[in-house]
Chains A and B, each alone.
Chain A
């Protein structure tokens, strides 16, 4: 895995001596560089800010009910008012405030779950790939078994037996999600193990811990970053699905998934109650996916299949 790029000095030198037509041809042959996904970063940044500043930004208490103000439409529609910019739901709660507070749940669930899963999965992958043999066989069978288990089912079981909660959602998803990391990282470690610098490190007296932390882990970081970014979006969707099914974040805590669920019977008359939190999910997940794709293409084009 050689980093793509040229020593700036030698590149300049080369540019100086190369004939112009050749340079033009080289530029044409080179695929166009993908630009930084500013919009995605902007959307993610915005939602992160909103989540952090929720108490200051939210115009109303997201839990305050007002049955007289049920299903008020957003401000730009007929009958809307500036008191509720995005309207209200079936209990008269302010949708904007609920989306703002709900971003905390979604982002926290996404980030915490992915961090837990990636840390554990990467550790398993590194150990399996480094030690190989029986250790590898056992760990990979466990990984395969884990991957074959549906996340939703596990979350439902947890919700039924222990009761739904934020912790259970995170645990349920992380307990399954790590397997992907384990697989991908192990694959990378296997290729790295065949390279001389690992052998060279051993010959220099490095032990298992040193080789794993200094040589293997840094060389898999690209992959990890890409996978983490792509998975945040996926986890947000899973968390929303669980909340939608009632196995996620228990009411009255505002969560985007449960907001969609609560509004779904009234979609024809009050689409905003389900549609606006749905739009929030769409925006965030799309932003994470685009960012992840860009990272993958920029850092390591070999990861196309992820």
Chain B
């Protein structure tokens, strides 16, 4: 197996709040290789976005702090880097696409100025060649008549268009790793499908490693190679997409999959997960999912379960899978 583009090892990010210290990212590890897509799924507040912000070191300071672990980008640890060095890595090596296309572009500058900026910054281009490159980028994200669109302002574009422009800016370098934080949640379904296809196309062309944050399992099954399921700041299960959808091992993953409606399903009601998402400031000792778990055992409340292999490539952090 080739060396991964990004390897996160036992990452811990803590946030200090009035209500106590929150372990937003609590010992997360994963790797993503060239051309591979990792889906990061979980409820709101499970630490998906925090994990990714920790990777690019843009966690809200001074409240949040990376307290341990390593983030290896092509073998180089980003955690001890200075802010200046990180600025050279952001955009050039790691790009990110955020959720809200309505506010992701600066309203006072034309699209052209905004697309030119990263190109000029990363490649030192100017004048005609810069404009050509910017036009090519807009063309690459399938914006019709890109040359004319350079003069448009964000408010003259639809949400889907703007999100394409953001995509164009993200691949300006092109980067090694692209993090997409629910980029399609505010797009309508047809545009969503187009955008996902576009992301895959860009990924294939540039051999990008991609992390796709979402809570839409349908999207995960469509575009991801592997999934990591997060719960309360920890990854509770990882594995190849088909494996996870076919035979989820962790009770939380099982519950998540049970709660999606399926075609041909004759059940009257969907199964909901009992109880509330945990209060991160007051996590129970042991497994964080224990209070809501149907299979809970005494051991779950006492000790945090480590990850146990359940199938090739699939691991689950559940005591039920502990080798006897």
Whole-angstrom distance between the alpha carbons of A10 and B155 in the complex? 12
Given A2-B155, A196-B103, do A207 and B98 touch, yes or no (CB 8 Å)? no
A-to-B contact residues, CB < 8 Å: 1-3, 5, 7, 10, 133, 195-197, 199-207, 214-215, 218-219, 221
17 A-B interface contacts by CB (under 8 A): A3-B107, A3-B155, A10-B156, A196-B99, A196-B100, A197-B105, A199-B98, A203-B90, A203-B94, A204-B121, A205-B87, A205-B88, A205-B90, A206-B87, A206-B91, A207-B87, A218-B108
Chain A residues with CB under 8 A of B117 = 204, 214
Chain A residues with CB under 8 A of B94 = 203
Chain B residues with CB under 8 A of A203 = 56, 58, 90-91, 94-96, 98
Number of A-B pairs, beta carbon distance below 8 Å:
70
Whole-angstrom distance between the alpha carbons of A133 and B61 in the complex? 9
Whole-angstrom distance between the alpha carbons of A27 and B106 in the complex? 30
Whole-angstrom distance between the alpha carbons of A215 and B114 in the complex? 10
Chain B residues with CB under 8 A of A200 = 96, 98, 104-105, 166, 169
Does the CB pair B90–A219 fall under 8 Å?
no
Whole-angstrom distance between the alpha carbons of A77 and B260 in the complex? 92
Does the CB pair A205–B121 fall under 8 Å?
yes
Does the CB pair A204–B90 fall under 8 Å?
yes
What's the least CB distance linking A226 to chain B, in Å? 15
Chain A residues with CB under 8 A of B121 = 204-205
What's the least CB distance linking B106 to chain A, in Å? 5
Whole-angstrom distance between the alpha carbons of A10 and B62 in the complex? 46
Interface pairs A-B: 7 shortest CB-CB: A205-B91, A204-B91, A205-B90, A196-B104, A195-B103, A203-B96, A7-B156
B305 interface residue, CB < 8 Å from A?
no
User: Can you add 8 more A-B contacts, CB < 8 Å, to A3-B153, A197-B106, A218-B106?
Assistant: A3-B107, A7-B152, A196-B100, A200-B96, A200-B169, A202-B90, A204-B121, A207-B84
Chain B residues with CB under 8 A of A218 = 106, 108-109
Whole-angstrom distance between the alpha carbons of A207 and B87 in the complex? 7
B118 interface residue, CB < 8 Å from A?
yes
Chain A residues with CB under 8 A of B153 = 3
B92 interface residue, CB < 8 Å from A?
yes
Chain B residues with CB under 8 A of A1 = 107
What's the least CB distance linking B155 to chain A, in Å? 5
| Cβ-defined partner of A219 (8 Å) among B87, B100, B106, B156 | B106
B198 interface residue, CB < 8 Å from A?
no
Does the CB pair B108–A204 fall under 8 Å?
no
What's the least CB distance linking B55 to chain A, in Å? 11
Chain B residues with CB under 8 A of A133 = 62
| Cβ-defined partner of A199 (8 Å) among B58, B109, B155 | B58
